[in-house]
Chain A
Amino acid sequence: DVKVTQSSRYLVKRTGEKVFLECVQDMDHENMFWYRQDPGLGLRLIYFSYDVKMKEKGDIPEGYSVSREKKERFSLILESASTNQTSMYLCASSLLAGGPAGELFFGEGSRLTVL
């Protein structure tokens, strides 16, 4: 089974702190994604990556950056956390860019609270 592992289930940070959310997948997937999940808004795409060192902005990239130095690892970075970034963050991966309509495999999520 594909496994997507997010390093932290729960984090509490203070305004202005730098925050790293780590995600690792074990199935050699090309694509990796970061979403945030907020009640009533569903999932919104922050950034995605089709390959190592590649990144593309999603719908809500402001205030975030990402890093993909290795194929299996995709990190989300909040350079200076703010209270409006309190949310559930979900990492996902999928097999092929442009391939058959996609099943995304999700991690369990990281719930971030910014005080």
Chain B
Amino acid sequence: GDSVTQMEGPVTLSEEAFLTINCTYTATGYPSLFWYVQYPGEGLQLLLKATKADDKGSNKGFEATYRKETTSFHLEKGSVQVSDSAVYFCALDNNAGNMLTFGGGTRLMVKP
């Protein structure tokens, strides 16, 4: 079946550091890929998405590129802020009626 693997956290960075959170997936066909973010005490919210190979999703300074050849969708940000501290989830939708398969989540902690 489909699966999503994320790097384990926590990831601890200083403010203005470069961020990469790795995500790889296993799926048949051509899934859509997502990054969701969960701020402390809140539910998940969509951060960005990409629906086909080589698409780049971007939002709030975060980017991720859909790499079919490496089955990856790594999340990057050039300069993190304390307010980016959250748990980040990679997910895929294999055209199964919006039923998403989620990775285990990666906690990011940004220190001033």
| A interface with B by C-beta (< 8 Å) | 4, 31, 33, 35, 37, 39-45, 48, 50, 58, 90, 92, 94, 96-104, 106-109
Interchain Cβ contacts within 8 Å, total number: 66
Q: A97-B98, A102-B100 given. 19 additional CB < 8 A pairs? A: A4-B43, A40-B104, A42-B4, A42-B6, A42-B89, A42-B103, A43-B89, A43-B105, A50-B97, A90-B43, A92-B44, A96-B98, A98-B97, A99-B98, A101-B51, A101-B98, A103-B46, A106-B43, A108-B43
Cα distance, A39 to B107, chains bound together (Å): 10
| B interface with A by C-beta (< 8 Å) | 4, 6, 8, 32, 34, 36, 41-46, 49, 51, 89, 93, 95, 97-100, 102-105
The answer to whether B93 and A102 touch across the interface, beta carbons within 8 angstroms, is yes
The answer to whether B102 and A43 touch across the interface, beta carbons within 8 angstroms, is yes
Select one of B42, B44, B51, B97 contacting A31, CB under 8 A: B97
Q: In the complex, what residues of A have CB within 8 A of residue B49's CB?
A: 101, 103
Question: Contacts A31-B98, A45-B99, A48-B99 given: A101-B93 contact, CB under 8 Å?
Answer: yes
User: Which residue among A102, A108, A109 has the maximum number of chain B CB atoms within 10 Å of its CB?
Assistant: A102
The answer to whether A104 and B104 touch across the interface, beta carbons within 8 angstroms, is no
- Cβ distance B93 to chain A, nearest Cβ, rounded Å: 5
Cα distance, A99 to B89, chains bound together (Å): 22
